Chain A
Amino acid sequence: MDCKDVQRELANRTSELPDAVLAHVAACPACRSARSMFNAIDDALGQVALWQPPAGFAERLAAKAAHIPRPGGPRSLPEFDRAAAAAAVLVAVTAYLSIQLAANFSSAMDAYAGLVRFVSQSLVAHTGAIAGASAAVWFCISAWFTRKALLS
C-alpha cells in the first residue's frame, strides 16, 4: 500500500481501518499528518446537527399532497403528448419527403439521371432506416420529456 491508497482509506473511513493502513500510518509522517487533518475535517463537518422541520410541517405538506392530481400514467402527461405529437409529425414528414424526393428526382432530372437515380434509389432503399432513425429520435424525445415530467 502506498501513501495514496492509505490516504484514500483514511479519507473514506467508515469503519475500522485495516491493519495494513494502521501500520503504514504508524511509520509514515505524511499519512499521520493527513489522518489528523482528515479527522479535523470530519469532526468539523460531522458536528452539525440534522435539520429540524418546523412544527406542523408534515401536516401542512400532507394537506397539500391531498390536492395533487394522481396521473393515470405517462400518457396523461401533457409533456409526453406534445413530444409524441412532435415525433409523429417528424416521422410522417421525413417519410413523405423521402418518397417524394426519390420519385421526383428520378423522373425530372434527366441530365443528372445517373446521379439522381443513385441518390433516389439510395433514399428509397434507406427509407426504412430513416423511419427507424426517426422512431429512435421519437423514443428519445418521449423518454426525456417523460423523465423530466416525472421529476418535476
Chain B
Amino acid sequence: MERDENDLVRRCLAGDQNACANLVEAYARMVGTVIWRATGDRQIVEDLAQETFLRVFRALIYFDRRARLSTWIYTIAHRVAIDHLRKARRWREEPLMLNDHEMSDAVAEPGTMDPEAVLTRNESERLIRDGLAQLPEKYRLPVVYAAIDGLDYPAIAAMLGIPLGTVKTLVFRGKRMLKDEISAALEHSRTSGLSNGL
C-alpha cells in the first residue's frame, strides 16, 4: 500500500496525468466529505475539494513519503475548509440528510417505515443539527470528523495537529455538550407541551 502510494506520488511528480487522475479518484470522496462535514455547506464542497487537490499537487514535492498520503491530503482538506470558514465566519446549518435518495435509504430500513418514527427521527436530527450549530468549532470538528466512516482517530489527530488523547477528550466534551443541549431542548418542548395542554 505504502509502496503504491509512493509510486503514485512519483508518477504525479513526473507529470503523469493518469496518475494525477488516479490520486484524485482515490481520495476525492473523503476529501469532499471532510470539507462537507467541516463547513456544513454542500454547495461549496466541489470548489474547495478542487482547491485542496491543487494545493496537494503544488506541495506534493515536499510530501514526506514516510507519512500516510491519505492523512496528509485530508489535513490539507481540513485547512482549506478552515480557511473558508474563517473567511465566511459561519457554519451553515444544513439538514443532515440532504436529498431524497439519502432520505429514502434511511427510511427504508426495517422498522422505520412508521411515519411517526420518521417524524421522531427528523425531530432528533433537527435537535442534533441545532446542537451542532451551537458547538464551538474546537469541539464540533472532532465530533463530525469522528463520525466519518473511514477516518480514524490518529488521522483526525494529525489533521487537527493535536494529540490523540486530546481528540478523545474533545469528542467526549463535544458530545456531552450536544447531549446537554438536546436534553434541555427536549425538556423545554415537554414543558411547553404541558403548558399548552393546560
B53 within 8 A of A: yes
Convert A55-83 into 0s and 1s, putting 1 for each residue whose CB lies closer than 8 angstroms to a CB of B. 00111111111101011000000000000
A20 within 8 A of B: no
Indicate if the CB atoms of B54 and A57 lie closer than 8 Å. no
A151 within 8 A of B: yes
Smallest CB–CB gap between A68 and chain B, Å?
5
Indicate if the CB atoms of B171 and A37 lie closer than 8 Å. no
Complex contacts, B105 vs chain A, CB 8 Å: 49
Complex contacts, B36 vs chain A, CB 8 Å: 51
B65 within 8 A of A: no
Complex contacts, A50 vs chain B, CB 8 Å: 29-30, 32-33, 148-150
Convert B155-192 into 0s and 1s, putting 1 for each residue whose CB lies closer than 8 angstroms to a CB of A. 00000000000001101100110110011000000000
Indicate if the CB atoms of A45 and B29 lie closer than 8 Å. no
Chain A: interface size category: 35 or more
B144 within 8 A of A: yes
Contact of A11 among B24, B37, B128, B172 (CB under 8 A): B172
Smallest CB–CB gap between A144 and chain B, Å?
15
Smallest CB–CB gap between B150 and chain A, Å?
8
Indicate if the CB atoms of A65 and B54 lie closer than 8 Å. yes
B91-122, CB < 8 A from A = 96-98, 102, 105-106
A19-72, CB < 8 A from B = 34, 37-38, 40-42, 44-54, 57-66, 68, 70-71
Indicate if the CB atoms of A11 and B175 lie closer than 8 Å. yes
Indicate if the CB atoms of A46 and B149 lie closer than 8 Å. yes
Indicate if the CB atoms of B20 and A62 lie closer than 8 Å. yes
Indicate if the CB atoms of A65 and B20 lie closer than 8 Å. yes
Smallest CB–CB gap between B89 and chain A, Å?
20
Complex contacts, A11 vs chain B, CB 8 Å: 168, 171-172, 175-176
A53 with B55, Cβ < 8 A, contacts A41-B178, A47-B97 known: no
Indicate if the CB atoms of B59 and A45 lie closer than 8 Å. no
Convert B61-91 into 0s and 1s, putting 1 for each residue whose CB lies closer than 8 angstroms to a CB of A. 1100000000000001001000000000000
B3 within 8 A of A: no
Whole-angstrom CA separation of A15 from B21 in the bound complex: 35
